[in-house]
């Protein structure tokens, strides 16, 4: 897994577990497209619960901490609803809140950022496509290009391909399965990320969002509003440097905040 080096320090404090979801990575390599009929948000959240149950049993723990990033926040929120007794706390980052507003809010934030740093090329391209909704893919491509540029993801994401081959036990075949699984999963799951409203606002586990201050993919402002609206035994919004991939690019700072705000609950 390409994220392996980012979590080496974490393993001094936690047992870090990631799973290749239905339709992703090695699971895709083993099962291919045979999981298509069950590839829904609800089924995959139940998969996550089964992984959590296995971990509790295997390690002799009553509860675990659940950290979800981006699409993982969609699954994570549903997991803590299905079986809250398995989780000491939920931590979201790159938190999906409302995709129906996300692109519009991100567009305004990108234009403001471009003007603040006097990037005329960004201003011109964003002005040319205008704000969403878009009738073609060009608008989304322009938004994503500049969100990646301003967040530093334009350098980070290509580097992950090389990191895959450095991960223990990873092979070129695994890399092929990873890339093919991303395309396959996107085709089946984009429609399942529209909004969190269907989950309601009441949760029975402590809720934390550790968010990059400049996330132009799942806008920080929307994540903050979502946190403010939630009801939970405890909730906290923790901003850190970075954007949508802050958990990786600034993994040391993320760990620092995780230890300060969340880890005491697990003890």
Same domain, 88 and 116: no
Q: Residue 220's pLDDT band (boundaries 50, 70, 90)?
A: very high
106-116 confidence digits (pLDDT tens): 999 999 999 99
Same domain, 126 and 246: no
Same domain, 84 and 35: yes
For residue 38, being part of any structural domain is answered with yes
For residue 167, being part of any structural domain is answered with no
For residue 20, being part of any structural domain is answered with yes
How would you class 104 by CB atoms within 10 Å of its CB: exposed for 0-12, middle for 13-18, buried for 19 or more?
A: middle
Query: Tell me, what's the pLDDT at 191?
Result: 60
Cβ–Cβ under 8 Å, residues 256 and 228? no
- Say which residue, 41 or 242, is predicted with more confidence: 242
76-92 confidence digits (pLDDT tens): 999 999 999 999 999 99
Task: For residue 28, give both structure tokens.
Answer: 């895709």
Query: Tell me, what's the pLDDT at 30?
Result: 79
Same domain, 86 and 203: yes
Residue 214: count other Cβ atoms within 10 Å of its Cβ. Answer: 20
For residue 158, being part of any structural domain is answered with no
CATH number at residue 28: 3.40.50.1820
For residue 8, being part of any structural domain is answered with yes
Range(s) of the domain holding residue 146: 101-151
For residue 16, being part of any structural domain is answered with yes
Cβ–Cβ under 8 Å, residues 246 and 240? yes
Percent of the chain with pLDDT over 70: 93
Same domain, 110 and 84: no
Same domain, 111 and 184: no
Which of 46-55, 198-207, 233-242 is the least confident region? 198-207
Same domain, 43 and 61: yes
Same domain, 189 and 251: yes
Residue 144: count other Cβ atoms within 10 Å of its Cβ. Answer: 17
Same domain, 69 and 195: yes
Q: How high does pLDDT run on average in the chain?
A: 88
Q: Count up the domains in the chain and report the number.
A: 2
Give CA–CA dist 237/228, Å, rounded: 9
Q: pTM for the whole thing?
A: 0.89
For residue 250, being part of any structural domain is answered with yes
Residue 86's nearest CA partner among 110, 59, 105 is 59
Same domain, 91 and 198: yes
7-62 confidence digits (pLDDT tens): 999 999 999 998 888 877 777 777 776 656 677 889 899 999 999 999 999 999 99
Query: Tell me, what's the pLDDT at 50?
Result: 97
Query: Tell me, what's the pLDDT at 4?
Result: 79
Same domain, 17 and 136: no
For residue 166, being part of any structural domain is answered with no
Same domain, 222 and 92: yes
């Amino acid at each position: 897994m390409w994220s392996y080096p980012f979590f080496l320090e974490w393993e001094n404090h936690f047992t870090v577990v990631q799973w290749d979801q239905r339709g992703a990575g090695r699971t895709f390599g083993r099962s291919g497209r045979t999981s298509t009929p069950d590839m829904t948000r609800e089924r995959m959240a139940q998969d996550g619960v089964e992984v959590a149950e296995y971990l509790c049993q295997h390690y002799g723990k009553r509860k675990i901490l659940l950290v979800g990033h981006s699409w993982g926040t969609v699954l994570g929120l549903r997991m803590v609803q299905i079986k809250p007794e398995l989780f000491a706390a939920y931590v979201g980052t790159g938190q999906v809140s409302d995709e129906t507003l996300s692109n519009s809010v991100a567009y305004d934030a990108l234009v403001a950022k471009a003007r603040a740093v006097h990037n005329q090329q960004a201003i011109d391209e964003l002005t040319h496509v205008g704000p969403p909704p878009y009738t073609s893919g060009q608008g989304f491509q322009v938004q994503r290009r500049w969100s990646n540029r301003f967040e530093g993801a334009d350098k980070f994401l290509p580097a992950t391909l090389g990191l895959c081959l450095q991960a223990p036990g990873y092979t070129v075949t695994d890399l092929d399965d990873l890339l093919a699984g991303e395309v396959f999963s996107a085709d089946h799951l984009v429609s399942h990320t529209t909004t969190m409203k269907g989950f309601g606002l009441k949760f029975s586990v402590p809720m934390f969002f550790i968010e990059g201050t400049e996330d132009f993919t799942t806008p920080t402002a929307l994540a903050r509003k979502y946190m403010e609206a939630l009801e939970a035994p405890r909730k906290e919004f923790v901003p850190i440097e970075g954007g949508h991939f802050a958990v990786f690019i600034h993994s040391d700072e993320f760990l620092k905040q995780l230890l300060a705000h969340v880890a005491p609950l697990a003890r």
